[in-house]
């Protein structure tokens, strides 16, 4: 029935060329402001270098080898991944140390992960005995060793076990051929965007208590706990200060987003640890009525589950709604937006926004300096 | 600073092979139930064939040449696209008639579109004189003709002009070298998901009045109005019955989604015109506490801006939250979900969900029958 002429695979239109002026970029495009991005990279690298804590940034935020390699070059001990697909892309790009901050059960996925352990240090998380048995089998089949962390629930209420359940799982990892017990995964994802500093402090203090209790339980079982991995962009100073964590998993610090800009610091001022470096560049395509305008970027260019995006540095323009390929704006009476004008959108949530695009268009001084493939975009399985 | 070994471009992991059993598919994966999909295709094809109205399905829903070609083979007069990137992928796959239901202003985009007019019939929408001038220039530069529709606002409040403004724009199209005036674009997007049948009827009656007024205004200016394009999955019977439209632009009818399942018919019963054919297949990866479980599919596998998804045919399981790569579930006391179990997710909004994936894994009788590339995924610029 179909008249398919040839099987087309996804076509990657790159929205710009290196050297283009910002006005020459095809829109919508995902922009990365290199000056802001590099300041963010440097600030976190300096913070961890000066303290007794490692940095293992989360690559789910960027899914981009060019960024992961810079993070490692600046001192990160490796990266976190959320999926095997991400780990494959990053190991094949030269990243030598990966922690999959996730449970895996599927044998084919575990075999793929074990295959990566031939060239890189691979760790993954467990919260059930069945996962340990499956991972051990895959490691043995490929004659490799993978590191295992017990994931504890430190208040996020997603995966993870209680402190008292950790020694049993840790012992199972120790005994499992092909696996090496290397510590615990203790990430409090719910704390990251709590607006009040005092609420984040309370959540991380509670998480630290869970970590302490887990270490104590492991110690009683005669088990050391080398790695305690966790922390995020909204709370990394708190995990560090507690002294309970050995490595930080921050991801969003390189980009920032609307959700983080709603977070407040200890003086109840906006959280300005890091600068906004990620934008979606869009063009006004229609402006047929006063007070309104339509942008050529919608739900396929930025995610909105954390709220509508904002327009960078323009308080006179508000998002009213977003449809598949359009953003509808309300503008102040004194503002005029003509078709053809370009605006920089600040996404409300960076990770799923990045995952909609194939390329970071990297900008410095209003010129395209680089194009970085988001090579692990869509690598969710 | 970077140690980039080679420039990796996006890696497309295909989550299944033709012939696989459904349990062998890597998750998360985008499933298309071919029996349901084909019934939906047939129902709309029959509906339009029996009435004096053409079908021009919207390809923004699927971004997939294999599906567009089937729609045309079953009688559609062509397809709608929302972006030039989509039009490029589809023309290069053999689609000969494209309407871009959108305004374009950027010269490079217009040149790309005009280049397609060398091999296909290309139409686009206008709501400003400037757009007409730019499109005319691009058509002349490539010595092609493109068709132009005046977009009128029929109550959606996005782009589009009033009926009285239409003749001026239509005249400008008539006079513009390289353009041919071919009618009006009159789509009421806001009406599609109004839950009550009577509210959708009222919205489409009002839209029909705008169409009537526009045709009258064009007639007074001595202009015919060949095409009136519009209509969607929630209202297509109403546009057809009014007699004012010449072609329907329905997109979602092939897949359906949670948003459409909330729509009611004239008897105030759920809207069952079409069957749910689109699912995200996911696996339970963690279930450490009673009453809950965690799926390995989150915001990068389905969109949630229209609400959380649901689990197909399982009222005993509810979505509680979705994060980047996880879905957190609440389950009834009598239900047990073990890690490794697979569930079929019904997305709340089909178009942006499809755009997250690279491949439709097409299923019949619980076997993979085909893999269809979502070749225009990400082709938003």
Interval A348-360: pLDDT, tens: 999 999 999 999 9
Dump pLDDT digits (tens) for B126-170.
Answer: 999 999 999 999 999 999 999 999 999 998 888 899 999 999 999
Q: Is A337 on the interface with B (CB under 8 A)?
A: no
Q: Rounded distance, CA B103 to CA A315, Å?
A: 26
Task: With cut-offs at 50, 70 and 90, classify the pLDDT of residue B6.
Answer: very low
Tell me the three state secondary structure of residue B366: coil
Considering chain B, what is the average pLDDT of its residues?
94
* Complex-level ipTM: 0.92
What is the rounded average pLDDT of the residues B319-327? 95
- Residue A356 and residue A28 in contact, taking contact as beta carbons nearer than 8 Å: no
Contact A356 B356 (CB under 8 A): yes
Give pLDDT, residue B5: 40
In this prediction, residue B13 carries a pLDDT of 77
Helix, strand, coil percentages (3-state) for chain A, rounded to 5, are: 30, 25, 45
Q: What is the pLDDT of residue A2?
A: 38
Percentage of residues in chain B with pLDDT exceeding 70? 97
Interface of A with B in 12-71 (CB under 8 A): 12-13, 15, 26-29, 60, 65-66, 69-70
Question: Do residues B131 and A366 lie in contact, with contact meaning Cβ atoms separated by under 8 Å?
Answer: no
Alpha-carbon distance of B122 to B34, in angstroms, equals: 30
Q: What are the b/e assignments for A148-180, b being 16+ CB within 10 Å?
A: bbbbbbbbbbbbbbebebbbebbbbbeebebbe
CB distance from A154 to chain B under 8 Å? no
Q: Which of residues 199-228 of A touch B (CB under 8 A)?
A: none
Is the CB of B305 less than 8 angstroms away from the CB of A300?
A: no
Q: What's the pLDDT band for B318 if we cut at 50, 70, 90?
A: very high
- Strands A79-81 and A54-55, bridge-based pairing: unpaired
Instruction: Give how far Cα B12 sits from Cα of A12, A179, B17, Å.
Output: 12, 29, 13
Q: What is the pLDDT of residue A13?
A: 77
Shortest distance, CA B5 to any CA of chain A (angstroms): 6
pLDDT over threshold 60, residue B18: yes
Find, in chain B, the residue whose alpha carbon is nearest to that of A301: B380
Distance from CA of A273 to the nearest CA of B (A): 23
What is the CB neighbour count within 10 angstroms for residue B161?
21
**pLDDT by residue (tens digit) across A209-265?**
999 999 999 999 999 999 999 999 999 999 999 999 999 999 999 999 999 988 999
Cβ contacts of A304 on chain B, cutoff 8 Å = 305
Confidence grade of residue A52 (pLDDT, cut at 50, 70, 90): confident
**Does residue A111 sit at the B interface (CB-CB below 8 Å)?**
no
Q: Are A82 and A354 in contact (CB under 8 A)?
A: no
Let me know: does B151 contact B162? Beta carbons within 8 Å.
no
B213-262 tens-digit pLDDT: 999 999 999 999 999 999 999 999 999 999 999 999 999 999 999 999 88
pTM over 0.90: yes
Q: Is A103 on the interface with B (CB under 8 A)?
A: yes
Q: Say whether residue B116 is in contact with chain A using an 8 A CB cutoff.
A: no
- pLDDT band for position A1 (cuts 50, 70, 90): very low
Band of residue B1 on the pLDDT scale cut at 50, 70, 90: very low
* Burial of B336 from C-beta contacts in 10 A (0-12 / 13-18 / 19+): exposed
Candidate from A27, A299, A377 with C-beta closest to B10? A377
Region label for B128, one of left (φ > 0), alpha (ψ between -120 and 50) or beta (otherwise): beta
**A219: closest CA of chain B, how far (Å):** 23
Average pLDDT, chain A: 94
Is residue A10 very low, low, confident or very high in pLDDT (cuts 50, 70, 90)? Answer: low
Q: Answer yes or no: do B66 and A2 touch at CB < 8 A.
A: yes
Q: What is the pLDDT of residues B197-211, one digit of tens each?
A: 999 999 999 999 999
Average pLDDT over residues A85-91: 96
**Mean pLDDT to the nearest integer, B307-329:** 96
Kindly list the residues from chain A whose CB atom is less than 8 angstroms away from the CB atom of residue B7.
373
CB proximity A155 to B under 8 Å: no
Q: Roughly what angle, to the nearest 10 degrees, separates helices A166-175 and A129-141? A: 20
Predicted confidence at residue B62, as pLDDT, reads: 98
Radius of gyration of chain A (CA): 22
Dihedral over alpha carbons B154, B155, B160, B165 (to 10 degrees): 60
Q: What is the pLDDT of residue A136?
A: 98
Helix (H/G/I), strand (E/B), else coil: B239: helix
Residue B12: the pLDDT is 64
């Amino acid at each position: 029935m179909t008249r398919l002429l040839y099987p087309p695979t996804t076509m990657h239109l790159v929205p710009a060329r290196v050297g283009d002026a910002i006005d020459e970029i095809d829109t919508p495009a995902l922009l990365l402001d290199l000056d802001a991005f590099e300041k963010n990279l440097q600030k976190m690298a300096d913070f961890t270098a000066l303290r007794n804590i490692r940095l293992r940034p989360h690559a789910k935020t960027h899914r981009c080898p060019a960024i992961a390699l810079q993070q490692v070059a600046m001192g990160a001990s490796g990266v976190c991944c959320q999926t095997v697909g991400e780990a494959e892309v990053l190991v094949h790009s030269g990243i030598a140390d990966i922690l999959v901050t996730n449970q895996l059960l599927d044998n084919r996925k575990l075999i793929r992960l074990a295959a990566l352990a031939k060239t890189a240090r691979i760790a993954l998380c467990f919260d059930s005995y069945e996962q340990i048995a499956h991972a051990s089998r895959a490691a043995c089949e490929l004659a490799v060793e993978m590191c295992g962390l017990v994931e504890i629930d430190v208040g996020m209420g997603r995966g993870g076990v209680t402190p008292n359940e950790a020694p049993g799982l840790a012992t199972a990892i120790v005994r499992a051929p092909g696996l090496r017990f290397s510590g615990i995964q203790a990430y409090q994802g719910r704390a990251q965007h709590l607006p009040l500093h005092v609420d984040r402090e309370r959540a991380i203090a509670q998480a630290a208590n869970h970590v302490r209790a887990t270490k104590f339980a492991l110690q009683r079982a005669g088990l050391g706990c080398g790695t305690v991995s966790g922390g995020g962009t909204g709370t990394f100073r708190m995990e560090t200060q507690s002294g309970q964590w050995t490595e930080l998993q921050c991801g969003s610090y390189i980009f920032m987003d609307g959700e983080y800009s709603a977070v407040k610091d200890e003086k109840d001022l906006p959280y300005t640890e890091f600068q906004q470096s990620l934008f979606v560049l869009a063009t006004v395509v229609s402006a047929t009525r006063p007070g309104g305008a339509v942008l050529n970027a919608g739900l396929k260019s930025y995610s909105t589950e954390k709220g509508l995006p904002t327009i960078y540095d323009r308080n006179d323009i508000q998002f009213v709604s977003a449809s598949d390929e359009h953003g509808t704006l309300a503008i102040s009476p004194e503002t005029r937006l003509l078709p053809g004008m370009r605006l920089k959108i600040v996404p409300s949530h960076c990770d799923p926004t990045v995952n909609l695009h194939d390329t970071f268009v990297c900008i410095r001084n209003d010129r395209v300096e680089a194009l970085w493939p988001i090579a692990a975009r869509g690598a969710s399985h």
